[in-house]
A and B are shown apart, each in its own frame.
Chain A
């Protein structure tokens, strides 16, 4: 979806403000928000693409008005409600009002190190050859689906060059919506600054994105 999360090149946000000696968390609730979100993926049964879409699929005011971990919480609450793990009245009341829904598995403390170490590799075996090779000129399609997409707006319609072929990976556009992994070839595509930003061209700038094959056409 063309949402407020897709920020590349957007004007008006002002300068970057690094925080000297920044702590990992700025409040106790941020610690809890991170841990609860990571732990709930197992009983909840959702994947990282579903989680990303639950965070970004909201009105721009909401997205821009919340802090990072507030967005995580909002996404988590939505995912849990969609699956009836928790109901809205329970979130409002702050206590359990309905019986728990049976879940297949929960994350136990002893399993955490192995689960984190395993992570979630997304590379899959190829079922067909790659359409593009390093050096090919490609255009990022000018597409605007209302569903999850990982092709940023600022490259759509622009011509770039295949910089690297990264193998076949889970396709977020499908996986986010429960339509299966539908693995696709993934490429690093480089764009010249002069191609992307005609109003402020930097001839020594190159920007790369990682783009799935369905996002690209030969140029």
Chain B
């Protein structure tokens, strides 16, 4: 990974949808966004109480939904799938042939992952996943998508200049590597199987899972190198 530059905040100022909505940025770029956010907050609270009072919503169901996607379903699931594929050739074959049942073997299934296809990175081919029309993303293995994945810059640029996108993420793909961008325009959800990093011979599945980043399963990053993690003693 060759670090190129840090992201600047200039060109998209004034377009809330394009940006990560952090408090820090709000204070600096949009003075009135703080009160707008509070307005949204109040509006959502009012909406929630209206819908509960009308009997359309079970408040306890909302809590279960939030807990599911905030703490249970996330990219650690996908990392387990990748680590299994790196250590179990028969599983890897099943994952590439028919991903949905293979991923189901690890207990991950359901909403926004009903029809998953795994695409494998090789030294000759790099895969990247986008949804140019909205935000389609394989929830059971990666959780909810990050803001940048749903943002206009990524959705616009990924299909035309994916090498430039990778530069935005701080790395340069070799000029001779083919790149295939999968635009998720229907209900098929794509999941990238990254290449196993060199120098990990003999690592356990648990240790390998620690190397698998969310972005490496979208195709906008690579797994960590062995020297980027603390390998825990006694787990191999």
Q: Do A and B bind each other?
A: yes
Which residues of chain B are within 8 angstroms of A145 by Cβ–Cβ distance?
A: none
With most chain B CB atoms within 10 A of its CB, the pick from A22, A36, A122 is A36
B200 in contact (CB, < 8 A): no
Q: Are B50 and A204 in contact (CB under 8 A)?
A: no
Q: Which residue of chain B has its CB nearest to the CB of A36?
A: B48
Which residues of chain B are within 8 angstroms of A121 by Cβ–Cβ distance?
A: 114-115
A181 in contact (CB, < 8 A): no
Q: Are A166 and B58 in contact (CB under 8 A)?
A: no
Assembled-state Cα–Cα distance A109/B58 (Å)? 7
Q: Are A205 and B70 in contact (CB under 8 A)?
A: no
Q: Are B153 and A39 in contact (CB under 8 A)?
A: no
Assembled-state Cα–Cα distance A188/B180 (Å)? 12
Assembled-state Cα–Cα distance A198/B152 (Å)? 22
Q: Are A22 and B20 in contact (CB under 8 A)?
A: yes
**Which chain A residues (99-133) contact chain B, with CB distance < 8 Å?**
100-101, 103, 106-109, 111-113, 115-123
Assembled-state Cα–Cα distance A36/B40 (Å)? 14
Which residues of chain B are within 8 angstroms of A91 by Cβ–Cβ distance?
A: 43, 47, 50
Interchain Cβ contacts within 8 Å, total number: 305
**Which chain A residues (4-25) contact chain B, with CB distance < 8 Å?**
5-11, 13-19, 22, 24-25
Q: Are A116 and B111 in contact (CB under 8 A)?
A: yes
Interface residues on A, range: 35 or more
Assembled-state Cα–Cα distance A196/B162 (Å)? 13
Interface residues on B, range: 35 or more
Which residues of chain B are within 8 angstroms of A28 by Cβ–Cβ distance?
A: 41
Q: Are A6 and B132 in contact (CB under 8 A)?
A: yes
Q: Are A8 and B183 in contact (CB under 8 A)?
A: yes
B106 in contact (CB, < 8 A): no
CB within 8 Å of B: which residues of A?
A: 5-11, 13-19, 22, 24-29, 31-36, 38-40, 43-44, 52, 55-56, 63-68, 70-71, 73, 77, 85-86, 90-91, 94-96, 100-101, 103, 106-109, 111-113, 115-123, 150-152, 154, 164, 166, 169-170, 172, 186, 188, 190, 196-197, 200, 202, 204-212
Cross-chain pairs A/B with CB under 8 angstroms, 22 sampled: A13-B12, A13-B152, A16-B154, A18-B169, A19-B148, A24-B70, A29-B40, A32-B66, A43-B56, A66-B16, A70-B40, A73-B47, A85-B56, A96-B50, A96-B54, A112-B61, A113-B64, A116-B65, A119-B112, A169-B115, A196-B160, A197-B160
